[in-house]
Amino acid sequence: MSESKRPRTGGFTRRTFALGALGAVGLVTVGAGAKVLPARSLLRPPGGQDEVALLGTCLHCEKCREVCPQGAIGPVHVEDGLLNMRTPTLDFHGGWCDFCTDVDGGPRCAAVCPTGALALPAGAVLGSTATGETGTVILGVARVNRDWCLAQRGMKCRSCVDACAFKAVTLGYDNVPVVDEALCNGCGSCENVCESMSSGSIAPGATDRAIVVVPLDEVEA
């Protein structure tokens, strides 16, 4: 049998290799795009507000998630970009950030990070629920969706107002919660206690609660 007629028994052909190489290039391109143009902005734990530094140094070890006493840290999933995947993000449905002011050394997540991906800036002041001081570490800003709010529907809900230790959430003239962005540090206590989902007040197709914390770049946009 001639060389050209010999049957293929497996292994890589030139065409297979070329397709594989193109696929790898495609993944790299998608990964680069995920860093430059992520699916959405992400809320990061204390010390992770420098997005470039976090993505460049995070080992995806998830130690920050494991030590969070409030259960407020979760891993990013692939839909938010390949480079973001398994980096830490805040999930206020599970808990909220109290900045670990009950322990020396600041937030446990930043203290346990082996690379400094979560690193508080020099002179940072943490928000204190005991004194009501907002602090200088801002995780995000809470926003109210009036269409989904129980108070807007006349149900006299004020759970988010009562949960905010920093007096950033108050009742407005019509008894619907409003947020003072100057006092909000994005701790997520308001989102954590929001009853709109459990009480069935949200319109069909809604995926969030009536008050949610959004990243700072969404506020500034």
Domains of the chain and any CATH numbers: 38-133 (3.30.70.20), 140-221 (3.30.70.20)
Helix or strand (DSSP H, E) at 179: strand 177-179
* Cβ atoms of residues 177 and 171 within 8 Å: yes
Contact 117, 54 (CB under 8 A): yes
| CA separation, residue 86 to residues 5, 36, 54, 141 (Å) | 49, 17, 12, 23
| pLDDT-based confidence at residue 220 (cuts at 50, 70, 90) | low
Q: Strands 73-75, 88-90: parallel, antiparallel or unpaired by DSSP?
A: antiparallel
pLDDT digits (tens, 9 = 90+) for 60-117: 999 999 999 999 999 998 888 888 999 999 999 989 999 999 888 789 999 999 999 9
Closest by alpha carbon to 90, among 147, 159, 142? 142
d(CA 21, CA 94): 41
Tell me the per-residue pLDDT of 124-151, one tens digit each, with 9 for 90 and over: 999 999 899 999 999 999 999 999 999 9
**Residue 80, pLDDT score:** 82
Q: What is the model's pTM?
A: 0.78
